[in-house]
Each structure stands twice: as C-alpha cells, then as structure tokens.
Amino acid sequence: MRSNGVLMHISSLPSDYGIGTLGHAAKEFADYLNRARIQYWQILPVGPTSYGDSPYQSFSSYAGNPYFVDLNLLCEEGYLTYDECKNTFWGDRADRVNYANMYEKRFPLLWKACDNFRNVKNKDSEQYKEETDKEYRKFLTDNSDWVEDYAIFMALKDAHEGKAWFEWEEDIKRRKPDAINEAKTKYSKEIENYCIVQFFFDKQWKQFREYLVEKEIKLIGDIPIYVAYDSVEVWKEPELFALDRKLEQDKVAGCPPDYFNEDGQLWGNPIYNWKKMEKDNFAWWMKRLKRVFAMHDVVRIDHFRGFSSYYSIDGKAENARNGKWVDGPGMKLFDQIKKELGDVNIIAEDLGFLTEDVFKLLKDTGYPGMKVLQFGFGEGDGKNIYMPHNYDRNCVVYTGTHDNETTLGWLQNTSDWVRTNTFAYNNVTDSEGWVWGLIRAAYSSVADLSVIQMQDFLSLGNDCRMNTPSTIGGNWEWRMTKDMLSDGLNDRIKEMNYRFGRANWKED
C-alpha cells in the first residue's frame, strides 16, 4: 500500500524548556500529522547523547535520552513545580537547542524530581506510594538486563568528571567485581537517580506511543550500525569489539577517500568482533534489536552496507586513507533476525559507496532501501538510480535526510546545470515551486513509502539543516517553532496525499 511519512526528531519539537520532549507538543504534532493524513513519523536514535550531541554517538543503545523527559509531565505528577522549570534559563532562541546550557540546567532539575519521587512528597496516600513503588520495581525487573549497568556507567562518568571509561582506573575500567561493588555502595544515590530518570522516560514513552496508535501513526526509529567507544556496551563486553589487551581500539570504522574527502571519514567507532558474535548466534544483536523494535513500529538501520562489507581502519590512524574492506556477517545475521524476531519491518540505509555485494544483500533480505532525490540529478543520461523513473516499489523515497542540506538549501547551492536538470525533470517553473516540485516527485513516484523532512514541508533553508557530516558544532540544533504548523500547510500536505494515493479519503 502506498503511504507517506515525515522526518523530524523529538528534539526538534517546540517546547518552553529548550528542547523537544515527549510531552504535549509531541501529541499536538501527532494531531497535526493525523489531520494531514500522514501515516509515519520517522525520528532519529533516542539514546543519551555524548560529545558532539549526535544521536548516533550515544552512551547507551538501550537507555532513553534524559533531555526528552517532559518537565511539565513531571510537574503534573508533583515531582517538580512549574516555577522551578519556568525560572530556569533554557537559551535565548526558540528555534535552536543550546546543548551546553541543556547539560548544565536539565540534570539538576531531574535530580530534584528524583528526590521527590523517592519521597513521594506530592501524595499523602499510602496506596499511591505502594502503586508507584510497584510500578518502578516492575520497570527495574523488566529492564534488568541493561538499566543498572547503564546507571552505574553514568554515575561513574560523573564521578570521573565526564572522562571516558577507558580513562578510568584499571579495576573499574576492567569491571573487577570488588571495584564494581564498591562503586555501587559509594554512588548508590547517583545510580538510583539514573534508574529513576529512565523510569520517567519509559513511562512517558509508552504514553507517547499509545497516543500515536490512537492517531493511527506508526513510528519509524533509527539504529546506528556502530556504538560509541565510550559507551556502556563496549565497557561491559569489550570482547565483542576490536580492542587490544589494553582495551584500546585496534580497528575503527569509517569510509574511504572519495571525491568529496581525500582523507576519507574517520568515524572512530570500534569495529565488531563478528567471529565472536557469530558463535552465540549474534545474541548481542538480537537483544539490541528486540529493544528497538519494542519501542518502534519500523526501524531504519544506518549504514546497512557495513553488514555486507565494512571499511576497517587502524585504531591509531590519523585519517581513513589506508583502511581496507572486510567481509561482514551478511545473510547469517539477517537469517537469525528472521528466526528469532520474525518478519520485522526494517528500512535499509543503503546509501554511500555501493557495490554488487551490497545490492545482493539488500535483495536477499527483501528490505526496502532508500532513494534520496537530491542524489538523482547530477547526470543527464537518465540512468541514475535515484531518479524516480528508476525506482521499484520496494523502496523509501526521501527529499533528503538529516545528513543532507534542506531541499531549498540544496537547490540554492547546487550547480546551475544540476538545478536546471532538476527543474526540467520535475517540471518546476518558478521559485515558489522549487521545494514542492521535489515533494511532488517523491509523492508521485512508485515508491511504497515517501518520507519528507519537516524542514522541506516548511520550505526552510540551510540555516535549518539538522547535520553537516564530519563537522563539530552547530549540528542537531534545529527546532520547529509553535507558529510554523499552519492550517494552510496542513491542507496542502493532505491534498498531496490524496492526489497521489498515499492516503485513503476520510472525513475530518
């Protein structure tokens, strides 16, 4: 069935407290999508962000980002007061996230909420205390395979002034039982704080998901292929990664040199020990995927080509020039996914340097790949795989992704030849139709699913771009303001959905 979606991260929602959250604004956006007949909402990874604020570099593959815990909902439960939240400085721009300020201001309020949760000061009822405690204990039991490890990891990071785990003292770095038990005692309150914040996140996430179901909107999540070196997963199970005896990185991930970057891209994420993982039928991956599918309806797997073959770089290299391609797990992993998880809904991010082995793996899995319109108009022979007439149905078409320029920015910055070719192909005749000409191309294509960045629906320029790869600072900051979601835009999106058969007609 033909369908449609929007791409916008939770952080980009409007709010009074510096960043988008799982509160009322998320539900209002779901209402807006429902009225526009949009069926899918695609977000970025929701884990706790680390240095650089990227959702793709997280301290944990399982935990939720504490920034997304809605403060108003905590006030409604009595764990904070509205004055405490409103009297905090959250930055001077409603259209940007100030991450440095967020780090300084959000956690003290969350810790205060944890104290009030512990004391249940907002309720006198003994029954309420018992029910709340029971709910919290159930959360800890249901998530016992990750939540305590995450909480210990984060408490130790705080105790070490934010230093990475591989810079900690040897016994803690190597998770010696006596050292861990001592840390549990010494930092018991801090560990419990991190557990309680995850409980807040879990409760709000479930309410958010229930509301999406009510509004007939499915959630598309995103999972990075790699995890951060400074993550609880690598600290907890270093044998599953390409580390040496000193727990330093032996091999790291990246991309080879190309037309755009003569040094290639040195991502710095540790490479997996795929041979070790295969011995227990990829149990680490099964557990990780079960978690992400429990939270989302569909999952986009980032850098899908790395499962076919991945670019391996020496851990001490200064650039990615001298890496080499190494075979990945291929269909062995995906056969195991089907065996244990069934026919889950996966979107394969098959962009970048593609070879025949990648095309074969995508075909063998049956997963839809991605088509990005911005990649389609650089040649004039009509053979580019990203031009709509070359699509098959089993794909997802995007105007652009979080790593691209906005469509307006791209059209303004590309060469005259590419712009002319784009306009001629899409029958765009005036500047008012620049962006919507590309949106129409996505909607009218045969792709089963069309996903448009919210910035493109709003016809915004590159000052609203989400991320510029291989740069630090200024990324992941864009936020939508409350006045942007007009009725006129809603009607235009709805009309496009009906016109191109991407939504069934129904009365409002």
Residues 6+ apart with CB under 8 A from 193: 110, 111, 114, 151, 155
Our answer to whether residue 31 is catalytic in this structure is no
Choosing from 70, 233, 302, 350, the catalytic residue is 302
Cα 299 to Cα 8, 16, 82, 101, 336: the distances in Å are 15, 30, 36, 31, 17
Output phi, psi for 457, to 5 deg: -55, -35
* Token pair 């998770």: residue: 175
Convert 408-445 into a string of H (helix), E (strand) and C (coil): HHHHHHCCHHHHHHHHHHHCCCCHHHHHHHHHHHHHHC
Of the chain, the end-to-end C-alpha distance in Å amounts to 22
Catalytic residue of the set 149, 222, 230, 349:
349
Residue corresponding to tokens 């996505």: 442
Provide φ and ψ at 87, rounded to 5°. -85, 5
Q: In whole angstroms, how far apart are CA 203 and each of 92, 135, 200?
A: 30, 10, 5
Known catalytic membership, residue 149: no
Widest Cα–Cα separation across the chain: 74
Alpha carbons 145 and 169: distance in angstroms, whole number: 25
Strands 40-42 and 369-372: unpaired
Considering only CA atoms, give the Rg of the chain: 23
What values do phi and psi take at 418, rounded to 5? -65, -40
β-strand partners of 146: none
CA nearest 15: which of 58, 73, 62, 100? 73
Candidate list 31, 84, 314, 403, residue with the active-site label: 403
CA–CA separation, 501 and 508 (whole Å)? 18
Q: Exposure of 257 by Cβ count < 10 A (0-12 exposed, 13-18 middle, 19+ buried)?
A: middle
302 tagged catalytic: yes
Answer yes or no: are the C-beta atoms of 38 and 112 closer than 8 Å.
Answer: no
Q: Quick one: angle between helices 24-35 and 487-499, nearest 10?
A: 50
Q: How many residues in total does the chain contain? A: 508
User: Which residues belong to the active site?
Assistant: 302, 349, 403
